[in-house]
Amino acid sequence: MRRKIAAANWKMNLRIEQGEALLEGLLSKNIELKPHQHAVFAVPFPYLTMARDKVAGRANYAVAAQNCSHKESGAYTGEVSAEMLQSVNIPFVVLGHSERREYFNESNEMLARKTDLVLSKGMTPVFCCGEALSIREAGMQNTHVEQQLKESLFHLDATQISKLVIAYEPIWAIGTGKTASSEQAQEMHQHIRNVLSARFGPEVANGISILYGGSVKGSNASELFSQPDVDGGLVGGASLQVEDFAQIIMALK
């Protein structure tokens, strides 16, 4: 069975005491996860070890970095390497979030290098892909997402790709209050799985978790997660609210 994942993306939010209170509030819910279910918290770099220690000992609760450098090491002031994250026992790294692509000009080629570095350090990349509103309105969303996958991931072999989590982000539905319908989400998730299947084979593709990342809330999580190719969510704003994110975790299949 594929992993079902509720991933919180705190982005650049919260003071550390607020982050601690948020995690404590969620953990106090004592939501027990089945072996195939995971709750992952992508927190800002300064909070990684705090969050790691908070979830320590809780089965299938884990922490993610929101990014890492495409360089291995060196004179890159302000950057954080994959090796640094590995050295503090961070198991997941989010790569290629739409905000990184848009505001920091991250290219598919750069993300291929980041993916290689994260995999080389034994961590799990959460690789983001998705289209802007103009691309969807032009009916080019499938081609656009396929290109992102091909240029960043198709150099991997079947063993390597099996270690990834994919997150589909309809950029037009992030922070806008708009949400793709569950049918739209399923359509793209199925397309992504078909693209992976054509390159790596159906057995490999059917084992990869694909998360939906567009305005997931406690109120719509169950419907979204009920779709056969939607394996959970990469959640922004709702992950900053204890009750909302608890609902999302509990909506996992």
Two tokens at 46? 């300064």
Rounded mean pLDDT, 81-88: 98
Residue-wise pLDDT for 112-167, tens only, equals 999 999 999 999 999 999 999 889 989 999 999 999 999 999 999 999 999 999 99
Active site residues: 97, 169
> Which range is least confidently modeled, 8-12, 128-132, 212-216, 242-246?
212-216
R_g (Cα) of the chain, nearest Å: 17
- Tell me the CATH number of domain 4-250, given options 2.30.31.10, 3.40.50.1980, 3.40.50.720, 3.20.20.70: 3.20.20.70
Two tokens at 150? 């091909």
Rounded mean pLDDT, 4-18: 98
Rounded mean pLDDT, 95-119: 97
The pLDDT value given to residue 177: 66
Identify the CA nearest to 33 among candidates 53, 63, 3, 10: 3
**Domain limits of the chain?**
4-250
